[in-house]
């Protein structure tokens, strides 16, 4: 009990045990007798005190073996007539709470044309109502703490909220299982899910025999088409992300057509669920990447043509995925099941207070996310929720993979169950995430971090060692640090090991190879600092080499949108809330860098056509892939394969200021050469050869 005007609190702390706290400012906290009032039966029964204890603020009274019917409402009354509502909130602290209240039935709005049933899991609530339009309907408590009501009539496109009471007053909240919402998450909207039926064209997607066949391209719905360098019909929306016919100022392909032409296999889309800090009615006023979730179950409204219309965001999001599928592109959804924007006002906390968020041993909020809260994925109904929403996004919207933000906050069991569930539907499904060891209140052996890769053999991890070794430091304090391709020759030998990828994870296909993503400075901006003494063209050569090495490395290549045409964010790193003039993709850079884009397209095609770049196991790589160096400057990367046009492909990389003469390659065909001579390896250049069968 805090130092306040509250004189009495009553909590059910076990199914048959009550705790009452009396303030010492009220009769010294002493009451000789207590009574339990059943408000449903209108009875008042004295109950004996089993034990007491006290602190500086209050006296605590405990009552055992008390029969409580959770469908009834009660008050505790002291000897002087003071009463307090008996709250059920602290039941969520019980070790066996999940065993007592876990529910596996349907939840949310169950729509039929003639009626809609609403079901919400709120086992610690005293009372729940659903407000549809201007009318509130009482919900009945059923098994496992589920409240339910059926409302007659066609509620299609009707707004609704839940009103949940845990103490004296009701709190209005959203439905964790809703399908749609109006603008800015004010209310949910009932929709007929059967109307969300645009074909998903799954038959257009090539079956992946190996995860290493994936080539991932990360983009933001908003950034992709917001620039005035292209004339998107609806900039920054689901619809314009897949808008055909967009061109650069000089008439080159831009936007969707550019993406299709590039040749990647997967598009990773930054958060597209409903997030908090962009006003959906005025979307250009504020900016956010979207790592501030408010509704995991509903698409983001600022990306919709009409955020007030319940169907708009749902249909347009599915249309985006459908159109990408038509072109053979798989979609990876960026999911943030580690924290909420504001835990206190979240539907989680207002529905079952204290249950959905992790606490440390002292009962304090865990903050491993650095966002003020961590979801407690080990709780059974939290785990169920994560799985349910992942299943919804896979089946209703057609996503083909998940990228888990701050995956180290989520427990291993939950992650493995999500993958198993998804792969039973689509055995080409991929799943990976940020496997950092986050300081959440959970033992390390339970965390979904990369050190536990042996416990998550089907899940990939962003390989930060690869990034740091080949490019150099990415954080603001490390931008001057050089990796191998930035000219740090000390990294030559370990750079080769990174390209082989045999010393980091249990399987090679667990390595998501990346040198740039939405976080931190772009490679172009980083090289402007680490290699600022070099001319622009030299820095571009370094970045092109780095990009080529990335595509040809063993593992799964990951490209950040614009990395291939030297995208800049004006030297800024964490641009999560910086406006469009910084984050929007500048498509005029495509006009300026056509030759280098074509080189990357060539390398993507080379990877696709040759299995030697797509080995999955360490045994395969050790048998068929080799690297060696010359004078700790030049890196030679060689892959052998049993099928395909070439029996062997050899790449030479020289990020040094020294030239080099290549020998013994007379029988090899030149695949890529940035110099007239086939044997002269100029400073800061590369060559690729293939030995035909």
CB atoms within 10 A of CB 78: 22
Give me the phi and psi of 283, to 5 degrees please: -65, -20
Confidence category of residue 3, pLDDT binned at 50, 70, 90:
very low
pLDDT tens digits for range 361-408 = 999 999 999 999 999 999 999 999 999 999 999 999 999 999 999 999
pLDDT of residue 271: 99
| CA proximity to 342, closest of 398, 295, 286, 310 | 295
What is the number of other CB atoms lying within 10 angstroms of the CB of residue 194? 8
Is residue 82 located within the same domain as residue 146? no
**Residue 268 included in any domain:** no
Categorize the per-residue pLDDT at 105 as very low, low, confident or very high, splitting at 50, 70 and 90.
very high
The three-point CA angle 647-653-657 to 5° equals 155
- Secondary element (H or E) of residue 213: none
- DSSP helix/strand/coil, 259: helix
What is the CATH classification number for the domain harbouring 125? 2.60.40.10
Name the DSSP class of 640.
Answer: E
Residue 573's nearest CA partner among 540, 524, 512, 539 is 524
What b/e string do you get for 348-378 counting C-beta neighbours within 10 Å, with b at 16 or more? Answer: bbbbbbbbbbbeeeeeeebbbbebebbbbbb
Burial class (CB within 10 angstroms; exposed 0-12, middle 13-18, buried 19+) of 568: middle
Residue 68 sits in the same domain as residue 47: yes
What domain range is 145 assigned to?
Answer: 98-173
Provide the pLDDT for residue 674.
86
Tens of pLDDT, residue by residue over 109-142, are 999 999 999 999 999 999 999 999 999 999 999 9
- Sign for the pseudo-dihedral over CA of 369, 375, 376, 380: negative
Alpha helices in 327-398 (DSSP H): 347-351, 380-395
Residue 104 domain flag: yes
Q: φ, ψ for residue 162 (rounded to 5)?
A: -95, 145
List the beta strands (DSSP E) in 588-633: 625-630
pLDDT band with cut points at 50, 70 and 90 for residue 488 = very high
Q: Are residues 129 and 65 in the same domain?
A: no
Strand, coil or helix: 104: coil
Together in a domain, 25 and 76: yes
Pair 657, 680 in one domain: yes
Query: Where among 139, 173, 207 does a domain terminate?
Result: 173
Q: Which two tokens stand for residue 554?
A: 């063993």
Q: What is the DSSP letter of 107?
A: -
In a domain, 138, yes or no: yes
User: Last residue of a domain, which of 173, 206, 235?
Assistant: 173
- Report the Cα 612 to chain-centroid distance in Å: 31
Tokens representing 379 are: 């709780």
* Encoded tokens for 29: 């906290």
Q: Is 631 a catalytic residue?
A: no
At 526-579, the pLDDT tens digits run 999 999 999 999 999 999 999 999 999 999 999 999 999 999 999 999 999 999
Half-sphere exposure of 549 (CA within 13 A, CB side): 35
330-356: average pLDDT: 98
Task: Tell me the three state secondary structure of residue 648.
Answer: strand
The enclosing H or E element of 606 equals helix 594-609
1 pLDDT band, cuts 50/70/90, is: very low
Q: Which of 376, 405, 525, 596 is catalytic?
A: 405
- The active-site residue, picked from 434, 509, 516, 596, is 434
Domain limit, last residue, from 140, 173, 206: 173
Residue 637 is predicted with a pLDDT of: 99
CB 490 within 8 A of CB 632: yes
pLDDT reported for residue 675? 83
Measure the CA–CA gap between 610 and 621, rounded to whole angstroms: 14
Q: Is residue 357 part of a domain?
A: no
Q: What is the DSSP string of 159-191?
A: EEEEEEESSSSEEEE--TT-SEE-GGGS-EE--
Beta strand residue intervals within 495-616, DSSP E: 511-513, 556-560
83 and 103 housed in the same domain: no
Which three-class secondary structure state does DSSP give residue 395? helix
Examine the pLDDT at 164 and tell me if it is beyond 90: yes
**Residues whose CB is less than 8 angstroms from the CB of residue 627 and which lie 6 or more positions away in sequence, other chains included:** 496, 497, 499, 500, 635, 636, 637, 638
Segment 474-485, tens digit of pLDDT: 889 999 999 999
For position 138, what pLDDT does the model report?
99
The reply to whether 15 and 67 lie within a common domain is: yes
**Structural element, H or E, at residue 661:** strand 660-661
User: Are 82 and 102 in a shared domain?
Assistant: no
What is the C-alpha separation between 672 and 469, in angstroms, rounded?
24
- The tens digit of pLDDT for each residue in 167-179 reads 999 999 999 999 9
| Confidence at residue 577, expressed as pLDDT on a 0 to 100 scale | 96
- Please compute Rg for the chain using Cα positions: 29
- Asked whether residue 332 is assigned to any structural domain, the reply reads no
- Mind listing the pLDDT tens digit for each residue in 514-536? 999 999 999 999 999 999 999 99
Residue pair 339/76 in contact (Cβ under 8 Å)? The answer is: no
In angstroms, the CA 335 to CA 297 distance is: 11
Q: Is 600 a residue whose pLDDT tops 90?
A: yes
Report DSSP state, residue 575: -
- What is the average per-residue pLDDT within 10-21? 98
**For 138-161, how does the pLDDT look when each residue is reduced to its tens digit (9 = 90+)?**
999 999 999 999 999 999 999 999
Domain count, the chain: 3
Q: Is the pLDDT assigned to residue 45 strictly greater than 60? A: yes
10 Å Cβ neighbour count for 138?
A: 11
Task: Using the structure block, give the residue that is written with the tokens 């996503």.
Answer: 399
Task: State percent of the chain over pLDDT 90.
Answer: 98
Does 4 score more than 90 pLDDT?
A: no
Residue 213 lies in a domain: no
Q: Does residue 217 register a pLDDT over 90? A: yes
What is the distance between the alpha carbons of residues 267 and 220, in angstroms, rounded to a whole number?
A: 10
Q: Mind giving me the DSSP string for 274-313?
A: EESSS-TTSTTTS---S-SEEEEEEE-GGGSS-TTSHHHH
First to last CA, the chain: 80
Is there a domain that residue 378 lies in?
no
Residue 665 CA: distances (Å) to CA of 427, 513, 603, 662, 676 = 41, 29, 20, 7, 15
Rounded to 5 degrees, φ, ψ at 573 are -100, -75
Kindly report, residue by residue over 166-210, the tens digit of the pLDDT: 999 999 999 999 999 999 999 999 999 999 999 999 999 999 999
Please report the pLDDT score of residue 2 as a whole number: 44
Q: Would you put residue 354 in left (φ > 0), alpha (ψ -120 to 50) or beta?
A: left
pLDDT at 628: 96
CATH code of residue 669: 2.60.40.1180
CATH code (residue 56): 2.60.40.2320
**CA–CA distances in Å: residue 379 to residues 119, 385, 390, 436, 680:** 20, 10, 17, 22, 62
Mean pLDDT of the chain: 97
Annotation marks residue 446 as catalytic: no
Residue 6 has pLDDT above 90, yes or no: no
Q: Inform me whether the pLDDT recorded for 606 exceeds 50.
A: yes
Residues 349 and 176 sit within 8 Å (Cβ to Cβ): no
In a domain, 589, yes or no: no
Q: What is the Cα–Cα distance from 681 to 669, expressed in whole angstroms? A: 16
| Chain centre distance of CA 99 | 29
Domain shared by 70 and 125, yes or no: no
Residue 693 pLDDT class (50, 70, 90 cuts): confident
């Amino acid at each position: 009990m805090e130092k306040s005007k509250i004189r009495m609190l009553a909590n059910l702390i076990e199914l048959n045990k009550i705790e009452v706290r009396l303030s010492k400012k009220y009769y010294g906290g002493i009451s000789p007798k207590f009574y339990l009032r059943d408000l449903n039966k209108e009875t008042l029964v004295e109950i004996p005190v089993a034990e007491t204890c006290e602190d500086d603020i209050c006296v605590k009274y405990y009552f055992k073996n008390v029969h409580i019917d959770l469908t009834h409402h009660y008050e505790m009354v002291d000897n002087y007539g003071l009463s307090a509502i008996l709250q059920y909130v602290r039941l969520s602290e019980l070790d066996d709470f999940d065993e007592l209240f876990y529910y596996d039935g349907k939840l949310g709005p169950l729509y039929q044309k003639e009626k809609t049933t609403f079901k919400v899991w709120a086992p610690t609530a005293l009372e729940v109502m659903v407000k549809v339009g201007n009318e509130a309907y009482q919900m009945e408590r059923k098994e496992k703490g589920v409240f339910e009501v059926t409302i007659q009539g066609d509620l299609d496109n009707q707004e609704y909220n839940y009103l949940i009471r845990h103490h004296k007053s009701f709190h209005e909240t959203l439905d964790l299982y809703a399908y749609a919402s109006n603008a800015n998450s004010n209310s949910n909207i009932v929709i007929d899910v059967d109307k969300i039926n645009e074909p998903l064209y799954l038959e257009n997607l090539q079956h992946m025999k190996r995860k290493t066949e994936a080539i991932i391209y990360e983009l933001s719905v908003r950034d992709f088409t917001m620039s005035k360098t292209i004339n998107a019909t609806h900039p920054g929306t689901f619809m314009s992300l897949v808008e055909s016919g967009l061109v650069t100022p000089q008439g080159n392909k831009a936007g969707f057509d550019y993406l299709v032409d590039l040749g990647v296999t997967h598009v990773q889309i930054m958060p597209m669920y409903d997030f908090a800090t962009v006003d959906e009615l005025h979307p250009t006023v504020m900016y956010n990447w979207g790592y501030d979730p408010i509704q995991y179950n509903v698409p983001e409204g600022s990306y919709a043509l009409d955020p007030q219309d319940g169907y708009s965001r749902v249909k347009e999001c599915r249309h985006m995925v459908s159109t990408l599928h038509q072109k053979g592109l798989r979609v990876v959804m960026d999911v943030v099941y580690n924290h909420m924007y504001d835990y206190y006002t979240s539907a989680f906390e207002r529905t079952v207070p204290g249950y959905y968020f992790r606490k440390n041993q002292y009962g304090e909020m865990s903050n491993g996310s650095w966002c003020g809260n961590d979801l407690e994925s080990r709780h059974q109904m939290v785990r169920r929720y994560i799985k349910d929403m992942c299943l919804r996004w896979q089946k209703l919207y057609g996503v083909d993979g998940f990228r888990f933000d701050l995956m180290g906050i989520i427990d291993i069991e939950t992650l493995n169950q999500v993958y198993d569930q998804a792969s039973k539907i689509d055995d080409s499904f991929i799943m990976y995430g940020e496997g950092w060891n986050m300081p959440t209140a959970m033992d390390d052996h339970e965390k979904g971090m990369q050190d536990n890769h042996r416990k998550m053999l089907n899940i990939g991890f962003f390989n930060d060692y690869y990034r740091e070794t080949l490019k150099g430091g990415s954080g603001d304090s490390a931008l001057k640090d050089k990796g191998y391709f930035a000219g740090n020759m000390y990294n030559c030998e370990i750079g080769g090991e990174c390209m082989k990828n045999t010393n980091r994870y249990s399987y090679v296909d667990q390595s998501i190879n990346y040198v740039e993503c939405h976080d931190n400075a772009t490679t172009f901006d980083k090289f402007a600092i680490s290699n600022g003494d070099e001319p622009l063209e030299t820095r571009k050569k370094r970045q092109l080499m780095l990009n080529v090495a990335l595509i040809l490395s063993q593992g799964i290549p990951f490209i950040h949108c614009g990395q291939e045409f030297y995208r800049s964010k004006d030297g800024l790193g964490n641009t999560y809330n910086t406006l469009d003039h910084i984050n929007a993709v500048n498509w005029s850079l495509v006009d300026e860098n056509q030759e280098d884009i074509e080189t990357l397209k060539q390398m993507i095609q080379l990877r696709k056509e040759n299995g030697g770049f797509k080995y999955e196991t360490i045994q395969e790589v050790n048998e068929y892939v080799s690297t060696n160096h010359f004078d700790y400057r030049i890196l030679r990367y060689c892959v052998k394969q049993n099928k395909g046009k070439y029996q062997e492909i050899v790449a030479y990389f020289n990020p040094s200021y020294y030239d080099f003469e290549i020998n013994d390659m007379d029988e090899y065909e030149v695949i890529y050469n940035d110099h007239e001579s086939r044997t002269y390896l100029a400073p800061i250049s590369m060559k690729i050869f293939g030995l035909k069968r």
